[in-house]
Amino acid sequence: MAINIRGRHYLKLLDYTSEEIRYLLDLSAEFKRMKRNGVPHRYLEGKNIVLLFEKTSTRTRCSFEVAGMDLGMGVTYLDPGSSQMGKKESIADTARVLGRMYDGIEYRGFDQKLVETLAEYAGVPVWNGLTDQFHPTQMLADLLTIEEKFGRLKGLNFVFMGDARNNMGNSLMVACAKMGLNFTACAPKELFPDEELVAKARAIAEENECTVTLTEDVEAGTRNADVIYTDIWVSMGEPDEVWETRIKLLQKYQVNRQVMENAKKSAIFMHCLPSFHDTNTVIGRDIADKFGIDEMEVTDEVFESRQSVVFDEAENRMHTIKAVIYATLC
């Protein structure tokens, strides 16, 4: 049966079937082939999209802008200081105004309820570029990258290390369950995903003949892993005071040589970026000065190793976002 998601919102992977996700991955791979071969694909000329950013980003903004321009569209970027959304104008009113002017709206910000409200009132497709609860555009890039490296998704062992109740932990758990990967959250119990979401993911995983596991044991959790994935320990928008507590909780969950050696020899390392793998950033230097650690969620050795696919993953944000835009607007 042909897949048609024209006019749909893209807010979280829970809203999509495994077959629809497969369609988006295949479309992403085709757009990547066209981009690499210099084949024009300005299929959406005459359309316009707007990007609403309450949280800044390099990869998400650039991916949406380049994807939109490659498809022949006009792209408007609005940062927190360029819009009255939520200040002088309600989310619902903003959605109804922008929906009259644009063919699609991307939102990157805080509460999932905000992007859901935009979608309710906009009258055009709304795409979630990241909220505190979910990061669905990142998921397609991650799945595409894994499939490129292994030639398949189903049956692979995927391990997420760190704060497993953040948007990345939540989204990766659902993505793996949807596409048949065995998901393990390796984290302290205080940072396990929400129980209700775990139950949903396990029900989906059972349908797709895979598993969802939560463990505090690093050695057991990473044994025979095909993919080791981590994220920064403190998310954007969390207060600076969180760093000390989070570092104490998560230091043993750092991705280092021992972790990678415990995984399969063919294992890859993934990270959604940015990463604190050295002190070549303002925050990295500040953390090193305050807490005496030069590397946080991943060592520089692993980040720069042959097993690291983080920049392939970053590039794939563009191809997969292009697929989402095209599939929902064409």
- Rounded distance between C-alpha atoms, residue 276 and residue 130, angstroms: 20
Residue 165 falls in the annotated catalytic set = no
Reply yes or no on whether 272 is catalytic.
Answer: yes
The active-site residue out of 9, 59, 61, 108 is 108
The residue annotated as part of the active site, out of 61, 271, 277, 317, is: 317
Residue 70 bears catalytic tag: no
Question: Which among 176, 186, 210, 272 is annotated as catalytic?
Answer: 272
Query: Is 330 one of the catalytic residues?
Result: no
Instruction: Give catalytic status of residue 142 as yes or no.
Output: no
Contacts from 307-310 at CB under 8 Å and sequence distance 24+?
A: 307/260, 307/267, 307/268, 307/269, 308/268, 308/269, 308/271, 309/145, 309/149, 309/268, 309/269, 309/270, 310/269, 310/270, 310/271, 310/273, 310/275
Q: Which of 61, 135, 165, 277 is catalytic?
A: 135
SS (H, E, C) the chain: CCCCCCCCCECCHHHCCHHHHHHHHHHHHHHHHHHHCCCCCCCCCCCEEEEEECCCCCHHHHHHHHHHHHCCCEEEEECHHHCCECCCECHHHHHHHHHHHCCEEEEECCCHHHHHHHHHHHCCCEEEEECCCCCHHHHHHHHHHHHHHHCCCCCCEEEEECCCCCHHHHHHHHHHHHHCCEEEEECCHHHCCCHHHHHHHHHHHHHCCCCEEEECCHHHHHCCCCEEEECCCCCCCCCCCHHHHHHHHHHHHCECHHHHHHCCCCCEEEECCCCCCCCCCHHHHHHHHHHCCCCCCECHHHHCCCCECHHHHHHHHHHHHHHHHHHHHC
Name the active-site residue from 138, 186, 277, 319. Answer: 138
Residue 217 annotated among the catalytic residues of the structure: no
Name the residues annotated as catalytic. 108, 135, 138, 231, 272, 317
